[in-house]
């Protein structure tokens, strides 16, 4: 199995709660390498574009308000099974359903403000990485 790339985000609530170091530490301890990362403050329009697969959902307006409410950290993580490994570290979308030891179980306040994002499949990972980064960002950070 070759290494995969996935897009992770530390959402505005994670940055506000000063969990950046804690969360990146969890990725690294699990064997995922940070391939590149950057802080962004998305506009409402950019958040709507990132989450357009959810545009028909009742929570779309609230979610995109939240995601544009403050800076996020976007990271590309690299490693064996990076996509599923990151999803395991995150825990279920609803922190009430997340298993003990996951990031969402430990830190999320509710189903919307759930601290982290992670791509759910190779095709979405590719698209989501492209949303924030170019090949050069990733290559330059890994000489
Ligand atoms: P995921 O982040 O675990 O992949 P998705 O179903 O892709 O979950 O939803 C994207 C994001 O939308 C969630 O992380 C959460 O912030 C928000 N969200 C999902 N379901 C709900 C809901 O029922 N109410 C409010 N926000 C939600
Ligand atoms: Mg999702």
Place 141 in a pLDDT band, splitting at 50, 70 and 90. confident
Cα(120) to ligand 1 centroid in Å equals: 12
117 annotated active-site? yes
Whether residue 143 has pLDDT greater than 70: no
The answer to whether 7 touches 34, Cβ cutoff 8 Å, is no
What percent of the chain has pLDDT above 70?
99
Place 140 in a pLDDT band, splitting at 50, 70 and 90. confident
Query: What is the reported pTM?
Result: 0.97
Residue 86: CB within 6 Å of ligand 1?
no
Cα–Cα dist 95/105, whole Å? 5
Residue 117: CB within 6 Å of ligand 1?
yes
pLDDT tens digits for range 83-115: 999 999 999 999 999 999 999 999 999 999 999
Contacts for 133-139: CB closer than 8 Å, 24+ residues apart: 133/36, 133/38, 133/74, 133/76, 137/36, 137/38, 137/76, 138/5, 138/35, 138/36, 138/76
Cα–Cα dist 95/1, whole Å? 31
Cα(92) to ligand 1 centroid in Å equals: 10
Q: Which domains can be identified in the chain, with CATH numbers?
A: 4-133 (3.30.70.141)
């Amino acid at each position: 199995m070759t290494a995969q790339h996935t897009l992770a985000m530390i959402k505005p609530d994670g940055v506000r709660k000063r969990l950046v170091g804690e969360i990146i530490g969890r990725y690294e301890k699990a064997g995922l390498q940070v391939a590149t990362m950057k802080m962004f403050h998305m506009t409402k329009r950019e958040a709507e574009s990132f989450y357009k697969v959810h545009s028909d959902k009742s929570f779309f307006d609230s979610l995109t308000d939240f995601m544009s409410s403050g800076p996020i950290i976007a990271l590309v993580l690299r490693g064996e099974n990076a996509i599923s490994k990151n999803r395991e570290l995150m825990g279920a979308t609803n922190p009430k359903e997340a298993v003990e030891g996951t990031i969402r179980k430990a830190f999320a306040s509710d189903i919307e403000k759930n601290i982290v994002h992670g791509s759910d499949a190779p095709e979405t990972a590719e698209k989501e990485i492209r949303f924030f980064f170019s090949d050069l960002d990733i290559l330059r950070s890994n000489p």
